[in-house]
Amino acid sequence: MKTISSALELKAYLRNENKTIGYVPTMGALHEGHITLIKEAKKNNEVVVVSIFVNPTQFLAGEDLDKYPRRDEADKKICELAGVDVLFMPQADELYFEDEVKIVAPNVRGYVLEGATRPGHFSGVLRVVMKLLNIVNPTNAYFGKKDAQQLNLIELMIKQYFMDVNIVPVDTVRDADGLALSSRNVYLSKEQRQEALKIPKSLYEASKMVSRGIVNVAEIKEQMLKILEPLEIGYVAILSREFEPIDEVVIGESIILVEALVGDTRLLDNIWL
Ligand code: PAF
């Protein structure tokens, strides 16, 4: 595995290779969810590139940028074992410029749900993803369905900016107890982890209701909120796959999303119905 920290060096290296590139952007603290993305990338590309960059522009003031888990050495080993060809580990001062041309999140879709509780977060995500995709220039880029709103906005950016990359959404990986894997799970105490399980339970209950023929959004939401008590809820939303409001769930076309605070840890989860 080749490790490169310079954007221009990576660009030159990949251009010379002239092969299909599968790309997995990450912020490190790699877990089974990331390994699943890498495995997917390995299936359909000649070269697999992973980046590790804890992107400062997607953290709001007072968020966990400084304590975000950083495990470079362990992550390098994981990448090597997973068969990654190139690991890109840039520094912030190389990716960002002082007086910069900025891409920002759309006014509506970028400021609802997670964007409402974290205004500006998605501008930071889109800004770095645009840069990373331009540096790597991949054939396929792999993103987890767990960050459904992020995925939706990236797909929108690719379409609206006529970018030449195929986005591959990959299913959420869960621990045996049902909790969706996230680098932030390390913040949870044993008791908090038990509380956090209310999130996948509420989603599971919602999917059971739908399979019993209950499709009314208000009814499903009410039941989910009961299960989630007493967690502090960011949002429970039942939407179309295009993130439009709906009154009734349509199988194959809907998504249910939850954001809840467990202790100080914000957890996201969703289910694609
Ligand atoms: O999902 C993440 O890990 C990050 O938001 C991403 C896409 C790597 C951008 O920093």
CA of 147 to the centre of ligand 1 (A): 9
Distance CA 124, CA 53 (A): 13
CA of 183 to the centre of ligand 1 (A): 11
Percentage of the chain exceeding pLDDT 90:
98
Residues flanking ligand 1, CB < 6 Å: 25-27, 55, 58, 125, 128-129, 147, 150
- CB neighbours (10 Å) of residue 16? 8
Domains in the chain and their CATH numbers?
A: 2-170 (3.40.50.620), 183-272 (3.30.1300.10)
Q: How confident is the model at residue 179 (pLDDT cuts 50, 70, 90)?
A: very high
Q: How confident is the model at residue 203 (pLDDT cuts 50, 70, 90)?
A: very high
Query: Tokens for 202?
Result: 């509420």
Residue 110 CA, distance from chain mean position: 14
Residues paired with residue 261 on neighbouring β-strands, in sequence order: 232, 266
Instruction: Give residue 146's pLDDT.
Output: 96
CA neighbours closer than 13 Å in the CB half-sphere of residue 35: 16
Instruction: Give residue 92's pLDDT.
Output: 97
pLDDT in tens, 78-121: 999 999 999 999 999 999 999 999 999 999 999 999 999 899 99
pTM: 0.95
**Does the pLDDT of residue 177 top 90, yes or no?**
yes
Distance CA 38, CA 80 (A): 11
**Does the pLDDT of residue 17 top 90, yes or no?**
no
pLDDT in tens, 218-231: 999 999 999 999 99
Q: How confident is the model at residue 37 (pLDDT cuts 50, 70, 90)?
A: very high
Mean pLDDT computed over 126-142: 98
| Residue closest by Cα to atom 6 of ligand 1 | 26
At 210 the three-state DSSP class reads helix
Contact 243, 149 (CB under 8 A): yes
CA of 128 to the centre of ligand 1 (A): 8
Mutation probe of ligand 1 site: the residue of 122, 129, 151 with most atoms within 8 A of C-beta: 129
Distance CA 172, CA 55 (A): 22
Task: Give catalytic residue positions.
Answer: 34
Distance CA 17, CA 121 (A): 34
Which ligand 1 atom is nearest residue 27's CA?
Answer: 3
Instruction: Give residue 18's pLDDT.
Output: 87
**Does the pLDDT of residue 46 top 90, yes or no?**
yes
Q: How confident is the model at residue 204 (pLDDT cuts 50, 70, 90)?
A: very high
Distance CA 248, CA 215 (A): 5
Contact 140, 165 (CB under 8 A): yes
